[in-house]
Structure 1
Amino acid sequence: MRVMKFGGTSVGNAVAIDRTARIIADAYRGDGRLVAVVSAMSGVTNQLIAAAQAAAEGDEQAAARLQQELVERHRGAAAELIPTAARLEATVSRLTELATRCARLVESVHVLRDLSPRAQDWIVSFGERMSAVLIAAVLEERGIPAVPVDSDKVIVTDDHFGSANPLLDETRARAEAILVPLLEAGKLPVVTGFFGATPKGAVTTLGRGGSDFSASILAHALDADEVWIWTDVDGVMTADPRLVPSARTLPAISFAEATELAYFGAKVIHPRTMQPAAERGIPIWIKNTFNPEHPGTRIGPDTSSNGSVVKAITAIPGVSVITVEGSGFLSVADVTARVFETVGRTGVNVFMVFQASSQHSLGFVVRRTDASKVLRALEREFELDLLKGRVARLWEEPGMAIVAVVGAGMRGTPGVAGRVFGTLGQHRINIVAIAQGSSELNISFVIREDEVARAVPAIHDAFGLGGSAGERSAGS
């Protein structure tokens, strides 16, 4: 049994939905036991968030405008794909009902002038709800017994709105109660991605790109044989082809390598997707909806050799380095504990940490958009220490980027770091900070953002990762 997930571009318009429906129908006819997980149509999630924010800021027309736009877009796609008048009418009726419910929620935000994380999660879930209804109807039109299923009835999470964590045991029980009977009856569940609900039924989202995560959670709950993530690229690549035209698709990587790449900026898969599948050893395939014949990339328990100890290079631009410099009057341990307790309270994600105890300084990397929030929190925490000179200064270095060199073959292989940093030195690229993961799966370093376009291709070439023109892809 397979779980197949389709992203926003795979269901972005009538042409894309037609292609996706053919892939699902072919897989169902070949297997018979299949769960499809769908994202919202491309751009709809952003549209829902923008409307909710506008309503909170006093826009009286935001709800009505959103309702009209949602109905028109989904109805237009339905009209192109569902020729049977009765089915089209029933589908449009269900889509209109969902758009009306969503608009009422947005109107309540306008009345209250408040958009809480809980309210936003509920509102943005309607993109996937409408997409699932539309795609299930298109499949029914083609003779496939598809049933739309809202994932807040199946995926159980904690109450961390905006980036919820799944409760896997509870989700397994729900999946066995709701999805297994459908599968045993020969039905094809079309499940909404991206969201779940707390045990009390409050809708939560799994973070942007969370439909990948949803598919992995459901695969774990159903003991699926495989997860197929259908997107708009051929698989995981050795580098971003916009930076490295010779980048090629990797045929296979490990869960650990994929996790590192996703964490350090590779957008082809959600960073948390690997954990539920890896726990049960379920392989994940990355496939291209627009090039379904391409074999894609298999993510599994083991790595594979590609002739290099390094598998891929990725980058996160738009980061800042925050440094806390002590004067020697505070212990390093005390400063470290207080820094990360303070940063933890802000909820900001820290990508890298580095420390020079001889200089009593501690540095870490955050998104540039989070830097001012972190600095304000640290200034409050160390206000007295700054006044008394126990902490010398706190400062931000903006305009930075993290570059990560990833590969399981790096473990125990001497000379990899030397080749990486030797290559950067040859190209006169200055390194601001360095960190290596304890797993030895990656070497990460910070450079100026404007140096990324030189650094990534140089390292890619140094490790011979380039492929032939036929292996190149148009996305990353």
Structure 2
Amino acid sequence: MSLHIFKFGGTSVGSVAAIEAVARIVEHERRAHQLAIVVSAQNGVTDALLRGANRAAEGDGETYQRSAAELRQRHLETARALITDPDEQQAYAASVARLLDEFCTLCHGFQVLGEVTPRALDTIAALGERLNAPLVAAALRARGVPAEAVDAGELIVTDDHYGDASPLMGPTIERTQARLRPLLAAGGIPVITGFLGATPTGTTTTLGRGGSDYSAAIIGAALDADAVVFYKEVDGVMTADPRIVPDARVVQRIAYDEISELAYFGAKVLHPKTIQPLIDKNIPVYFKNTFNPEHPGTLVSPRGAAGGGTIKAVTAIRNLSMLTVAGRGMLGVPGIAARTFTAVARVHASVLMISQASSEQSICFVIPSRHTEAVKRSLEQELQPEIARRDIDGVFVQDDAVIVTVVGAGIRTTPGIAWRIFAALGERNINVHAIALGSSECSICLVVTAADADEAVRAIHPLTYQ
């Protein structure tokens, strides 16, 4: 029997009705597959936990206590609606009390000390999944499904980069196989906490943005699963954000590299690193809707297998700034580019896109706006001799930049694609401030102003029909 890993996000396990929908999917699919389930915290829970911890470090002793009371009530009310056995209810209530007492004890310590360490913050952030996985497992057992909650700290071994830990796949495979294979062989369904892992010595870590999805990919790779299915609240990967483009459609089939580009450039699909363990094992990925499971969703297939030369989707990433280093004295001077990006790296800013004039008289690049001032200062310090000699005119900033990205395998090498994109933008009088074409086989990136971004997406989207 094939093994499928199902990942359910916060909205998919965020209410009584949502968990009942999950249970129906599991009941149906377990007839055809072995299943392992990865679950997020209920929507909004992790934010509430982190807010309480950070406020406590600022001296606020009320927010975390109020959050603990609200979370206790929310989870126990959900449990009462889903769990019929009194002993199960009592056991779950004891688990909730233990976890939230730990939360309050930690927050009291933060309040006394006036600070919270990254290590302690990971312990706090992981509590949402630790509250929810036992609840989902108990709800499944109430329907006769042999489910068992499993803490991912037993499975996923990571480094100690708290807040954004990386898995150590050797020991992770060993522990995951040893813990889950016997449970699966006995017909059980593990319900695994997403988002978290542990160092080799057992200290809790979290996997960063998109961590619960990453957990599912890691578990899928460790078990050599036949498929990983991400259940969300939409029917699949969309051709554009439906809030911007009401007639956006589900992409039926997309390649690994295409979805990586979409995720990197703003589509709320997967964090780019999430897909990597599955690419390495060539494991198929599906996106489906928890609340419309009959829809076929989107299949993510190996590189090149999804067809090429057509536009699959268009997306936008916002809250960016474009910085330009310009000057006639840059022409032919070796090392300017290297020093520019060394200065950017010095302040730990990520560069999302680079464009350089063929005349070598300017370099422009796009970064998250939160880093703009620090990057500008670092550049001016690094290039101060050239600025003083007027070899470089200065470092110029354009705020409110947006990268609009057109994604489709082979579009870079397909004649006429770029012309159609720029013609569509020209018809709407949308000015393009920078272009990155050629660095990826499956994307074309354009910088526009924030005021033009939505209209640019709407202008390009009809090309996905052709």
**Counterpart in 2 of 1:174?**
175
Per-residue deviation, 1:392: 2.5
Question: Residues of 2 paired with 1:181 and 1:437: CA distance?
Answer: 48
1:87 equivalent in alignment to 2:102: no
What's the CA shift string for 1:339-389, capped at 9, x where partnerless? 222322333221101112635322111122222232233334334554454
Cα separation, partners in 2 of 1:424 and 1:226, compared to 1, 3 Å:
same
- Measure the CA separation in 2 of the matches of 1:171 and 1:398: 43
1:100 aligned partner = 101
In structure 2, the residue corresponding to 1:155 is in which secondary structure?
coil
1:408 aligns with 409
Contact (CA 8 Å) 2:332, 2:360: kept in 1 or not? no
1:291-327 deviation line (CA, Å, top 9, x unaligned): 1110000001045668961111111122110122345
Partner of 2:27: 25
Q: Deviations over 1:253-294 (max 9, x none)?
A: 000111011111110222222111111110110000011110
Could you say which residue in structure 2 is the equivalent of 1:120?
121
CA contact (8 A) 2:239 2:250 kept: yes
Change (3 A) 1:63 1:131: same
Specify the alignment match of 1:474 in structure 2: none
Partner Cα separation in structure 2 for residue 19 and residue 325 of structure 1: 56
SS of structure 2 residue aligned to 1:64: helix
Q: Which amino acid in 2 is paired with 1:250?
A: V
Deviations 1:402-442 (A, max 9, x none): 00011014152112111111221222111110002433210
CA contact (8 A) 2:5 2:37 kept: yes
Match of 2:278 in 1: 277
Structure 1 residues 303, 232: closer, same or farther in 2, change over 3 A? farther
Distance 1:398 1:67, change over 3 A: same
Give the structure 2 partner of residue 58 of structure 1.
Answer: 59
Note the 1:227-306 alignment, pairs <5 A: 227-303=228-304
CA distance in 2 between counterparts of 1:304 and 1:91 reads 46
Measure, in 2, the Cα distance between the counterparts of 1:171 and 1:452: 42
Matched residues in 2 for 1:26 and 1:89: separation? 28
Distance 1:285 1:95, change over 3 A: same
Judging changes above 3 Å, is the alpha-carbon distance between structure 1 residues 157 and 360 closer, same or farther for their aligned structure 2 residues?
Answer: farther
Counterpart Cα distance in 2 of 1:380 and 1:152: 44
Q: Write out aligned runs for 1:8-47 (5 A).
A: 8-31=10-33, 33-47=34-48
C-alpha separation between the residues in 2 aligned to 1:261 and 1:227? Answer: 19
The one-letter code sitting in structure 2 at the alignment partner of 1:92 is: A
Preserved CA contact (<8 Å) 2:340 2:379: yes
**Cα 1:437–1:266, aligned 2, differ >3 Å: closer, same or farther?**
farther
Q: CA offset at residue 463 of structure 1? A: 4.4
Structure 1 residue 452 and structure 2 residue 453: aligned?
yes
Q: 1:226 corresponds to which letter in structure 2?
A: A
Tell me the amino acid that sits aligned with residue 17 of structure 2: V
> Does the 8 A contact of 1:117 with 1:161 survive in 2?
yes
Of stretches 202-211 and 7-16 in structure 1, the one that deviates more from structure 2 is: 202-211
Q: Deviations over 1:124-170 (max 9, x none)?
A: 00001111011111111112221111112211222222222222222
* Separation of aligned partners in 2, 1:274 and 1:449: 29
CA gap of 1:157–1:346, structure 2 versus 1, over 3 A, is farther
User: Percent identity at matched positions?
Assistant: 47
Partner of residue 189, structure 1: 190
Query: Secondary structure of the residue that 1:313 maps to in structure 2?
Result: strand
**Structure 1: stretches of 5+ with no match in the other structure:** 466-476
Shift of 1:200: 2.8
- The structure-2 alpha-carbon separation of the partners of 1:109 and 1:395, relative to structure 1 and needing over 3 Å to count, comes to farther
Measured against aligned partners, the alpha-carbon deviations of 1:41-78 in whole angstroms (never above 9, x if no partner) come to: 00111111111110111112233223212211111111
Partner of 1:4: 6
Q: Hey, what does 1:468 align to over in structure 2? A: none
> Tell me, what secondary structure is at the counterpart of 1:37?
strand
TM superposition shift of 1:79 = 1.0
User: Any conservation in 2 of the 1:253–1:303 contact (CA below 8 Å)?
Assistant: no
Distance apart, 1:235 and its partner CA = 0.3
* Contact 1:66 1:103 (C-alpha < 8 Å) held by counterparts: no
Q: 1:142-157 residue pairs with structure 2 within 5 A?
A: 142-157=143-158
Counterpart check, 1:211 vs 2:217: no
C-alpha distance 432-380 of structure 1, shift in aligned 2 (>3 A): same
The 8 Å contact of residues 231 and 286 in structure 1, kept in 2 or not, is answered as yes
Which shifted more, 370-379 or 316-325?
A: 370-379
Deviating runs (4+, > 3 A) in structure 1?
A: 302-308, 329-333, 379-391
Alignment length, in residue pairs? Answer: 464
Displacement, 1:247?
Answer: 1.2
How big is the shift at 1:331? Answer: 6.2
Structure 1 vs Structure 2 CA RMSD: 2.0
Tell me, yes or no, if the aligned pair for 2:5 and 2:36 is still in contact at 8 Å. Answer: yes
More displaced 10-residue stretch of structure 1: 407-416 or 216-225: 407-416
Q: Who is 1:311 aligned against?
A: 312
Q: How does 1:348-363 map to 2 (within 5 A)?
A: 348-356=349-357, 358=359, 360-363=361-364
